[in-house]
Amino acid sequence: MAAKRNLYLTLVAITVVAILLWFAQENLNPYYQRILTLSAIYSMFAVTFNLIFGYTGQFSLGHAGFAAVGAYVTALLTMSPAQKVANFFLQPIVPFLRDVELPFLPALLIGGFVTVLVSLIVGVPALRLRGDYLAIATLGFSEIIRVLLVNLQPLTNGALGLKGIPSNTNLLYAWGMLGFCVFVCKRLVDSSYGRAMKSVRDDEVAAEALGVNLFKHKILAYIVSSFFAGIAGGLLANLISTIDPKVFYYTLAYQIVGITVMGGMGSLTGSIISASLYTIFLELLRPIESQINIGSLQIPGIPGMRMVIFSVLLLVVILFYRKGLMGDTEFTWDALFRFLRKPKGRNDQEGKVA
Amino acid sequence: MAVLLQLDHLVKKFGGIVAINDFSTILHQGELCALIGPNGSGKTTIFNVITGIYTPTSGQVHFNNEDISGIKPDQITGRGIARTFQNIRLFKGLDVLGNVMLGMHIHIASNVAEAIIRTPRYNLEEKVMHTSGMELLDALGLADFAHAEPTSLPYGKQRKLEIARALATKPQLLLLDEPAAGMSPSDAEELMDFITSVMQKFDLTIFLIEHQMRVVMGICPRIIVIDHGEIIAEGTPEEIQNNNRVIEAYLGVETHA
């Protein structure tokens, strides 16, 4: 049976990837490890944004805010009391937060749950709005979160940020969480609830006339999305070990939108491929921002040049793959076998007929 | 015959414009009734009020002796009223079978967590949705297209798919908004035969909007004619055809300059 074969292949693939990750964690140099870990975190951002926009059609720009809440909660829960006291020298931290110290995994999950609760404050009213209003409301939400982070000194240490967050995030945690996130999102979009989410995206009036409770399904996508975005934020905090409100500037949301569009709306594999490419390319392009010497000619480094190149790359992708790298298709074993079995020309023709 | 739908003095105003003015009628179980009228006479507005897209300015909608005016469209669908749209509104992100299975989503008992975990109960429900979806497509002659994109279907089949999708919600009352719009007279006639066969097969009550009188003359025992949101005539096709006000509404009044 093809279904059984695919299941075995998937299990084998997961095992192989897990072994590779474990091996990489032991042997790969920390710089490459960090790039791969960041890829997984950005993939989680892209996958969760895809769930809310690509599958449910709600243009929510709250991801920077989600990430911030998740990052701060996880960071505060994992830092040691001594570390926190050292950080909060302007104004002492609230006693409850000072004394609590949790292992990484529970801290991440609590970070996810708190993100959901905070996001619902804006989600419940905003998801009753349609189209652009939601984008504006959620973008505003992100900014409010950032301003709160700056001003709630006893909770967040304000603009000084948090330093010395334990570096708990490693390859296995990041890719493991990504795997969990993709598993949940994939199961969700392939279920009856996923069909309802897609119907909301395609035509709200018709969906409602067929008995789909619009608000319920929008909020469902929003909750799952913010939960995993919060966890991704927590992973990020425990990777970079120093966070401050500027990390979660609203441009982060735009980056996530760019990554997701480049990967393809409605393709989870597309989001992962695109996020990984994005992270790796940004690293590869790093030399561009430093000073370049060609003989006696000196070109000074321009900070931010990488983003210009990235924009051009994004434009190229949009020009040649109008629906993103993967469109709305996913990687499947069947598609791989079809691709391997047939010569390219015939494959193309069949694609057109189907 | 039991009363299924009762519209009581419905009024719908948009600002100063009165779209429906004091519209009352009763539909009995098993009835096939047509609502006709010239362009802009308020036909679709009446459907939108019944299905909850608009709340009436005044008046009530009773369905199965329950006041449903002002409740949300998805809840009204849950009570047993389904509809199709004048401009076809299929979900292009779902295949043909997916469109029909979406109609069954309203009856799902498993919650989201069960759907993600894929509990035996959810798997069973999904399987039942799949088989009854295929049966429905089969009954309406669409089974061969189950995995096609809905927009790739020919126009007439798209209309039928909209009806199939509405039937998937297991309605008692089906509202069809100009099902024959844009069809040639022979296609329209075929569709009307299709509608009567569906009505018998699924034990439905049908309220349908039509722009052209000719299309419904053959199959609808009762016709309501409206103009400017008011009922101007009601009766059998013969009575309607000879009604002066109807002729006026459609052809205009002769004026001597």
Please answer yes or no on whether A210 and B89 come within 8 Å at the CB atom: no
Q: Which pLDDT does position B256 carry in this prediction? A: 63
Mean pLDDT of the B239-245 span: 86
The pLDDT confidence band at residue B129, using thresholds 50, 70 and 90, is very high
The pLDDT confidence band at residue B219, using thresholds 50, 70 and 90, is confident
- Of A192, A198, A214, nearest to B126 by CB-CB distance is A192
Helix-strand-coil split of chain A, %, nearest 5: 75, 5, 20
| Residue B143 neighbours by CB under 8 Å, 6+ apart | B134, B137
Q: Is A149 within 8 Å of chain B by CB?
A: no
| Tens digit of each residue's pLDDT (9 = 90 or more) over B157-176 | 999 999 999 999 999 999 99
Query: Is residue B146 a contact partner of residue B134, using CB atoms and an 8 Å limit?
Result: yes
Q: Which pLDDT does position A2 carry in this prediction? A: 78
| Tens digit of each residue's pLDDT (9 = 90 or more) over A252-294 | 999 999 999 999 999 999 999 999 999 998 888 888 787 778 8
Q: Is A7 within 8 Å of chain B by CB?
A: no
| Tens digit of each residue's pLDDT (9 = 90 or more) over A96-149 | 888 899 999 999 999 999 999 999 998 999 898 776 888 999 999 999 999 999
Architecture, CATH, for domain A30-288+304-353:
Orthogonal Bundle (1.10)
Domains recognised in chain B with CATH numbers: 1-80+171-257 (3.40.50.300), 91-160 (no CATH)
The dihedral region occupied by B42, where left means phi > 0, alpha psi between -120 and 50, and beta the remainder, is left
The pLDDT confidence band at residue A56, using thresholds 50, 70 and 90, is very high
Q: Is A201 within 8 Å of chain B by CB?
A: yes
**A95, pLDDT greater than 90:** no
Phi, psi of B187 (to 5 degrees): -65, -40
Distance separating alpha carbons of residues B116 and B110, to the nearest angstrom: 10
Place of tokens 């199965």: B64
Q: Residue-wise over A307-342: b if at least 16 C-beta within 10 A, else e?
A: eeebeebbeebeeeeeebbbeeebeebeeeeeeeee
Distance separating alpha carbons of residues A218 and A173, to the nearest angstrom: 29
Q: Which pLDDT does position A325 carry in this prediction? A: 87
Dihedral sign from CA coordinates of A239, A242, A248, A252: negative
CA distance to partner chain B, nearest, from residue A28 (Å): 35
**A351, pLDDT greater than 70:** no
| Residue B20, beta-bridge partner list | B12
Q: Which pLDDT does position A343 carry in this prediction? A: 61
Query: Is residue A165 a contact partner of residue A179, using CB atoms and an 8 Å limit?
Result: no
| Residue A312 neighbours by CB under 8 Å, 6+ apart | none
**A352, pLDDT greater than 50:** no
Please answer yes or no on whether A211 and B169 come within 8 Å at the CB atom: yes
Instruction: Return mean pLDDT, chain B.
Output: 91
Instruction: Identify the closest residue of chain B to A220 by CA–CA distance.
Output: B112
The pLDDT confidence band at residue A180, using thresholds 50, 70 and 90, is very high
Distance separating alpha carbons of residues A133 and A137, to the nearest angstrom: 6
Q: Which pLDDT does position B254 carry in this prediction? A: 65
Please answer yes or no on whether A195 and B165 come within 8 Å at the CB atom: no
Q: Which pLDDT does position A348 carry in this prediction? A: 45
Q: Which pLDDT does position A1 carry in this prediction? A: 67
Distance separating alpha carbons of residues A234 and A85, to the nearest angstrom: 20
Instruction: Return mean pLDDT, chain A.
Output: 89
Distance separating alpha carbons of residues B166 and B160, to the nearest angstrom: 10
Q: Which pLDDT does position A300 carry in this prediction? A: 79
Q: Is A116 within 8 Å of chain B by CB?
A: no
Please answer yes or no on whether A191 and B116 come within 8 Å at the CB atom: yes
Q: Which pLDDT does position B248 carry in this prediction? A: 82
Instruction: Identify the closest residue of chain A to B125 by CA–CA distance.
Output: A192
